Amino acid sequence: MRVTNPMMSNRLLTNVSRNLGLLNKYNTQASTGKKIQVASDDPIIAGRSLKFRTMLSEAEQYSKNNADAKSWLDATEAVFINVNNIITDMKGLCTRGANDTLTLEDRKKVMTEYMSLVEQLEQELNSDYMGRSLFSGFRTDKKPIIKDANGKNIQNPEVYGNPTANPKVEPIDGQYIEVQVGSGVNVPINILATDIYDKNDYVELRGGTHLGPNGAKSTEFERVLEFLNSPEYENMTEEQKLEWENDPNNDVRGMFSKMLTTLDNYQSKIATLDTEVGVRAKRVELVGQRLEDDKVNYKEVMSKNEDVDIAEVMMNFNTANAAYMASLNVGMKITQTTLADYLR
């Protein structure tokens, strides 16, 4: 086969271009630290990279969900700590109120302080997390405890339900907020107000139900305090006050003694719910630790898949550079001799 100068020149340019392409490839890898720049460079690496990035993105989103869930549960645990401290103070007041040495006036002061603690306990139910009520189920814009027209704490019908409303308002029973903290791991993060402080608790922590002469309902502590603060009581003689106190229906000391048992039962209920919150928080914490390990692993495999070995790239670059320079030198020698040299 006859080899001509144009053929040699074209082959030279092809080889020089190929060597220059390799030189550019290794130069780009060294500059960016990545094996490929576009998917067409290596579709297999590109496909794996997309998969690993998706897995890492999911893990990061789960970590954010995990952090939100943990913060919500931490806020709930803080409320339970406060509630437990309030109950302990209430028990101390009831023990003091049941003391034989106290006068009725002393018990009135104790009962007043006790009722203020009941209201403080109820305000704990209105705690929120980032503007969302902790214990109102899906109705996070509603407070479990509100005040009526007389300024008295009542249980919000929009949370506890109102069967007489039109349309009827259902209670929040079963409205548990679940957060996906991991792949296939959903954790309920909220405790319901109806579980912590139901309608029976509202009455029992105020001394139980009292039926008035006209069938009107109130609670024992509210009835007693209302009477002790009334002008009727103030105008009574000491004998009349003593007679009123000795009436079995007005046994204030007995009411305090009975309340100790009620508070023990309520504190046990709160302890059970607090334990449940602690179990959920521990589960969220363990999943969070696993997610952090997963993120490290994903980043490692992503690095192995995408990142270059700088030492290897520099070695390849030097080899490609040597080949490129050699092709230029050889090409220079080939192109020095032409047909014109034989026409002299």
**pLDDT category of residue 65 using cuts at 50, 70 and 90:** very high
Residue 264 pLDDT greater than 60, yes or no: yes
CB 196 within 8 A of CB 135: yes
**pLDDT category of residue 344 using cuts at 50, 70 and 90:** low
Query: To which residue do tokens 């020698």 refer?
Result: 333
Model confidence, pTM: 0.80
Instruction: Tell me how far apart the alpha carbons of residues 123 and 140 are, in angstroms, rounded to a whole number.
Output: 15
CA atoms within 13 A on the CB side of 143: 13
The one-letter code for the residue type at 63 is S
Output the pLDDT for position 332.
73
CB 197 within 8 A of CB 122: yes
The one-letter code for the residue type at 324 is Y
pLDDT tens-digit profile of 73-127? 999 999 999 999 999 999 999 999 988 888 888 989 999 999 999 999 999 999 9
pLDDT tens-digit profile of 130-144? 999 999 999 999 999
Output the pLDDT for position 215.
55
Output the pLDDT for position 174.
92
Sorted by sequence, the CB contacts under 8 Å of residue 288 that are 6+ apart come out as 63, 66, 67, 70, 181
Instruction: Tell me how far apart the alpha carbons of residues 134 and 74 are, in angstroms, rounded to a whole number.
Output: 11
**What is the average pLDDT across 306-313?**
82
**What is the average pLDDT across 244-273?**
91
Sign for the pseudo-dihedral over CA of 259, 262, 263, 264? positive
CA atoms within 13 A on the CB side of 330: 13
pLDDT tens-digit profile of 277-306? 999 999 999 999 999 999 999 888 888 888
Sorted by sequence, the CB contacts under 8 Å of residue 208 that are 6+ apart come out as 219, 220, 258
What is 106-173 written as a DSSP string? HHHHHHHHHHHHHHHHHHHTT-EETTEETTSTT-TTS-SEEE-TTS-EEE-HHHH-BTTSSSPBPP-T
**pLDDT category of residue 250 using cuts at 50, 70 and 90:** confident
**What is the average pLDDT across 173-186?**
92
pLDDT tens-digit profile of 194-228? 999 999 999 999 998 866 666 557 788 998 898 88
Residue 255: strand, helix, or coil: helix
Indicate the CATH number for domain 52-299: 1.20.1330.10
Average pLDDT value for the chain: 87
| Cis preceding linkage at 167, omega within 30 | yes
* Helix residue ranges per DSSP H, 180-309: 193-196, 199-204, 220-228, 231-234, 238-246, 252-306
Q: Percent of the chain having pLDDT more than 70? A: 93
Query: To which residue do tokens 């309520």 refer?
Result: 266
Residue 268 pLDDT greater than 70, yes or no: yes
Residue 29 pLDDT greater than 80, yes or no: no
Could you tell me the CA-to-CA distances from 175 to 80, 97, 157, 278, 280 in Å, in that order?
Answer: 20, 39, 15, 20, 17
Output the pLDDT for position 147.
93
**What is the average pLDDT across 149-163?**
92
Q: Which of 110, 122, 80, 124 is nearest to 259 (CA)?
A: 110
**pLDDT category of residue 316 using cuts at 50, 70 and 90:** confident
**pLDDT category of residue 38 using cuts at 50, 70 and 90:** confident
